[in-house]
Amino acid sequence: MRVAIHTFGTRGDIQPYLALAKALHSSGHTVQLAGPQQFERFVHDHAIPFAPLPGDLLSLLDAPKAKNAIASGAAALAGFKLLGEIRPHIRKLLEAEWLAAHAFAPDIMVYHPKSLASPHIAERLQCASVLASPLPILTPTSEFPSPMLPFRSLGPLNRASHILTAKLAAGLFSRQIGSWRKNWLGLSVRTKRTPLPDQTLYGYSRHLVPVPEDWGPDVHVTGTWELDSSNGVIGTDLDEFLSAGPAPVYVGFGSMPAIEPAKLTDVIVKALRRNGMRGLLATGGGAIEAPPPSDDLFVVKELPHDIIFGRVHAAVHHGGAGTTAAALRAGIPCTICPFFGDQMFWGHRVASLGVGPTPLARAKLDVETLARALKAMNDPLMRAKAEQIGYRMRAEGGAHEAVRLLDLRVSSCKTRTPDLIVAVASH
């Protein structure tokens, strides 16, 4: 089976799909992962064939407009404020995805929701299409609202919120997609409706978000797709720090951009010391900066979560799907301080399960608030619940379950007609 996996975004949008690609490769399938060119070395280090896509859009997260929107608390509007800058790059990205997939000639396309091209490419190549996502998006349900909205529940409007979010997302670049469908794929200029996937795989744990009863038989929750870093090296200095005293608290905000990093770092350090806790600080995308050297703090840029979370007391992070899953798989409580997107959704889930305190509002974060959250993660009941959910999540084998389901999907599909897989015009 030839499997094209297309994804786009920051590292949290790449790593789970790389884990899935490795599981497929280990099962004897031919795989090509397409993603931003910034991650070419990362993917090649894991010996998976990679098709680099233009990565210009990623730099926009660090643009002044995006930072200002996040800082003002209007992060959900950041994308809309940047539309004028995003649109010129979309056409180039659509074209690059088509060229990568056409050259590879897949039997099945597995794609992240941010891969706008993939469902249309699957239609053109007449191959199976599978929406694969680390969060429950694009499948309407009445049980919870769209993860992209910052609400715990909208009651009777839960299902409508999923439909509305999907329509808004599809409409943002409808003109570019319509023109590209016609000129590059030779398809009708259908822009109002995205082709539906043959199957949907959600790479998160059912122990974190129960499977909705109103989802159909082609929607599956597999468990997380974890990239094994067991052979990774954390460095002698860090190993010595971890062994020199009580397990520290991990604090990191992934790829989130810098918004008053000195102020945020000062709050973190003071809150840790108020509780007598050591800290392991990951600067990541710049939200945290390195404080003055001290015996109770260790600062790094980034770390493999699957290695380090087993050696820390608790975690404070932004609430990315991957970081949330990694912390809970390790059986530790976590405090989520969301910046935007689906991060508040995961914060609500963590709090509702009793494996972390109520998510913290980043714009209002102060020493007292964070110190209370850190103290709450010492609670024996919270820690016991975290250990229990970690045990259950580690037993799921999400990537292998996803491979099994993909095998079943391809075996049930009709064989493609070879003459349908041809280039369009001069493309």
Question: What is the pLDDT at residue 72?
Answer: 54
What is the residue whose two structure tokens read 């043959």? 198
CATH number of 2-224+396-420: 3.40.50.2000
Of the pLDDT bands very low, low, confident and very high (cuts 50, 70, 90), residue 422 is very low
Instruction: Quote the mean pLDDT of the chain.
Output: 89
Residue 280, φ and ψ in degrees, nearest 5: -115, 105
Of the pLDDT bands very low, low, confident and very high (cuts 50, 70, 90), residue 111 is very high
* Mean pLDDT of all residues in 202-216: 97
Q: CA dist 417 to 98, 107, 123, 281, 408, Å?
A: 19, 11, 13, 54, 20
Which of 80-84, 136-140, 161-165, 370-374 bottoms out in mean pLDDT, i.e. has the lowest? 80-84
One-letter amino acid at 252 equals G
Task: Say yes or no to pLDDT of 355 above 80.
Answer: yes
* Mean pLDDT of all residues in 322-333: 96
Strand ranges inside 267-320, DSSP E: 279-282, 297-300, 314-317
DSSP-derived secondary structure letter, 103: H
Asked if the domains 2-224+396-420 and 236-394 are classified in one and the same CATH topology, the answer is yes
Of the pLDDT bands very low, low, confident and very high (cuts 50, 70, 90), residue 210 is very high
Do 115 and 94 meet the contact criterion of CB atoms below 8 Å apart? no
* Mean pLDDT of all residues in 22-47: 96
Question: What is the pLDDT at residue 425?
Answer: 36
Cα–Cα distance for residue pair 99/95, rounded to 1 Å:
6
* pTM for the predicted model, two decimal places: 0.91
Residue 262, φ and ψ in degrees, nearest 5: -65, -40
CATH of 236-394, one of 3.30.559.10, 3.40.50.2000, 3.30.40.10, 3.30.1320.10: 3.40.50.2000
* Mean pLDDT of all residues in 132-158: 94
Q: How far apart are the first and last CA of the chain?
A: 25
Tokens (6 digits) for 112? 């992240």
Task: Say yes or no to pLDDT of 19 above 70.
Answer: yes
Do 209 and 133 meet the contact criterion of CB atoms below 8 Å apart? no
| pLDDT tens digit sequence for 225-264 | 998 865 667 889 999 999 999 999 999 998 887 778 999 9
Smallest CA-to-CA distance from 421 within 102, 173, 76 is with 102
Helices (H), 56-129: 64-71, 78-81, 83-104, 118-125
Domains of the chain, by residue range, sit at 2-224+396-420, 236-394
What is the residue whose two structure tokens read 């037993």? 395
